[in-house]
Structure 1
Amino acid sequence: MGRLRSYRVKPIESLARGLQVLQTLQEVRAASLHDLHLATGIPKPTLTRILWTAHQQGLVWQRMVDGAFLPSHSQRRLEPDDDAWLVEIASPVLDELARRLQWPSVLAVPRLDYMETLETNSTRTYFDALPPRPRGYRVNMLGSASGRAYLAFCTEQEFDAVIRRLRQRDAPAHGLAFDDEALRRLVATTRERGYGIRAPDFGGDYARPRSEVDDGRESIAMPVCVEGRVLATINLTWRRQVMSTSGMIQRHLDDLRTAVLTVEARARAAGLGHG
């Protein structure tokens, strides 16, 4: 890089601090306010002003699930396995969904043989909040609405690979993986509906059935699809004692579908979702 000629001017200290924060975020990729304070030595009130200004300029965004700050996907090179861009696109959509419905939703992505939670609007809901779960929480692929939505709409090659992995671990929670006929029915009925629902014996725990662990919830989930690939799922979850599944579908399925379509459109507009 060429050297800038010397000017008899004072540097803009506030700009220097802002650039220091952006550079730190580029290096660590995600950081809390306290992390940034420790890394830069900048007081937290000043950091808050810097981050808010950077957010207004589209340079920084904040994840809802853990409050971490991240550089915008437009400011960095994307890695093939980087999900941060997807959360950045989906997070404001989930936020708006929570404001309108007041029931929590979760953005989850498929991993080898489970679904992983990336973002939730639970802290923004009024009626209900999900139990505290860290980013990266593992969700049962066969029992959850999210997992079933993914399995029904993913490619045949992906489906076969997931089922093969599940069969390699002969656990009670994977019993459905050994029933080919039940799997075919699951895929067919989920595709026909257009969304996944929880298995009757699924109570939210990865390994134990509802008879042993019951979170008192029901959920529906839809796939986020771009270029023929299921990138993620978005669910809507609520307390079973408050509303039936049919009631929730009648009231809010269109809201969930609109949220999914919005995320898909934003991903396509950003030229993402390839590979």
Structure 2
Amino acid sequence: MINDAAEKKSDGVRAVERAIDLLQALNRRPFSTLHDLHRETGLPKSSIVRLLRTFEAKGLAAQSSSYGTYHLLGRVKSLSSGFHHEPLVIEVAEEIMIDFTKREGWPLALALFDVNAVVVRASTIPHTSLSFLHSSLNMRWSLVSRALGRCYLAHSPANERKILIEIAKQSKNPEDAAAHDSAAIARMLKQVRERGYALRDPTIESRSSTIAVPIFDDERLVACLGLTWITAAMSLDEAVDQYVPQLFEMTDAISRELAKRSARQPLSPHPPQDDRAFY
């Protein structure tokens, strides 16, 4: 009898562990296939499907019928409603960002992906007067028009990139209208990956300009870091020459610190230059 009870308790613990492993795997990318989840968790596909059905019933995840992928829903945030710490990348990046702005004057922003845009989760605007905005925290930026969004889109895995572009096409945000011009989007993405940095569409806001670069944890894209300057104060070429190397120094430092806190070495702090499709 005691052994039976202990065995049932052990089965229950394993079930919870499997659910947590699957939630963590879903959280690593915007969209995951069943194969992705099986490869990352090592769980049998039948078990993954049962857990996904449970998550769907609880409003934590959903399946995209168009692409056969799974993604988390906003309700998953209820699991952390009593936890107030920021993601590790923000914790690591903020001090580095503030040091830069205090030294150079220009504000920085760090953005994370959220459903169909990137959201500014850290900003150094409070540490400078060189900004047209009083704050950019929690602002949502287009994936196809804004520098931070373009940076994230260009350095996302090719399969996710295609889905994100399709999602942008359904957006009612006027800044996402460019997603319908497939040729222009392909050129923009190719240019971003070749340069290693993204620029904002100059027709959006001509008074200022932004350069954005990716931040990787191991080889996984986790955020983008952007510098904004007043256009009248500095040309694009001057900004690129002076600040792109500094931006990469900062993202390298952030990636190294993320690796250190995870007790491993970063494989590639810079975006991998490979032959993946740009669109």
Runs of 4+ more than 3 Å apart: none
Q: What secondary structure, in the 3-state scheme, does the structure 2 residue paired with 1:232 have?
A: strand
> What do the CA deviations read for 1:2-53 (whole angstroms, capped 9, x no partner)?
xxxxxxxxxxxxxxxxxxxxxxxxxxxxxxxxxxxxxxxxxxxxxxxxxxxx
Equivalent residue for 1:124, pick from 115, 118, 127 = 127
Q: Which residue is 2:100 aligned to?
A: 97
Equivalent residue for 1:138, pick from 119, 140, 147 = 140
Q: How many Å apart are 1:272 and its aligned residue?
A: 8.9
Q: Which residue is 1:218 aligned to?
A: 209
Say what the alpha-carbon RMSD is for the aligned residues.
Answer: 2.5
Report the residue type matching 1:142 in the other structure.
V
- 1:162-241 equivalence runs, <5 A: 162-203=164-205, 216-241=207-232
> CA separation in 1, counterparts of 2:115 and 2:191?
23
Decide whether the 8 Å contact of 1:155 with 1:229 is kept in 2.
no
> What do the CA deviations read for 1:110-144 (whole angstroms, capped 9, x no partner)?
11111100111122235x13512363111122111
Q: What's the % identity of the aligned pairs? A: 23
Which is helix-richer, 1 or 2? 2
> CA separation in 1, counterparts of 2:86 and 2:178?
29
Give the TM-score normalised by the residue count of structure 2: 0.61
Q: How many Å apart are 1:271 and its aligned residue?
A: 1.6
2:90 paired with 1:87: yes
> CA separation in 1, counterparts of 2:136 and 2:249?
27
Report the residue type matching 2:152 in the other structure.
Y
1:134–1:184 Cα change, 3 Å: closer
1:256–1:139 Cα change, 3 Å: same
- 1:15-164 equivalence runs, <5 A: 83-125=86-128, 128-133=130-135, 135-164=137-166
> What do the CA deviations read for 1:74-98 (whole angstroms, capped 9, x no partner)?
xxx9x9xx74322111101101111
Decide whether the 8 Å contact of 2:151 with 2:197 is kept in 1.
yes
Give the TM-score normalised by the residue count of structure 1: 0.62
Equivalent residue for 2:236, pick from 241, 245, 254 = 245
Q: What secondary structure, in the 3-state scheme, does the structure 1 residue paired with 2:242 have?
A: helix
Q: Which runs of 5+ in 1 are unaligned?
A: 1-76, 204-213
> CA separation in 2, counterparts of 1:272 and 1:92?
21
Decide whether the 8 Å contact of 1:146 with 1:196 is kept in 2.
yes
Q: What secondary structure, in the 3-state scheme, does the structure 2 residue paired with 1:267 have?
A: helix
Q: How many Å apart are 1:230 and its aligned residue?
A: 1.3
1:134–1:251 Cα change, 3 Å: closer
Number of corresponding residues? 184
Q: Which residue is 1:16 aligned to?
A: none
> CA separation in 1, counterparts of 2:113 and 2:226?
13
> CA separation in 2, counterparts of 1:272 and 1:157?
30
Q: What secondary structure, in the 3-state scheme, does the structure 2 residue paired with 1:241 have?
A: helix
> CA separation in 1, counterparts of 2:121 and 2:141?
11
> CA separation in 1, counterparts of 2:176 and 2:108?
25
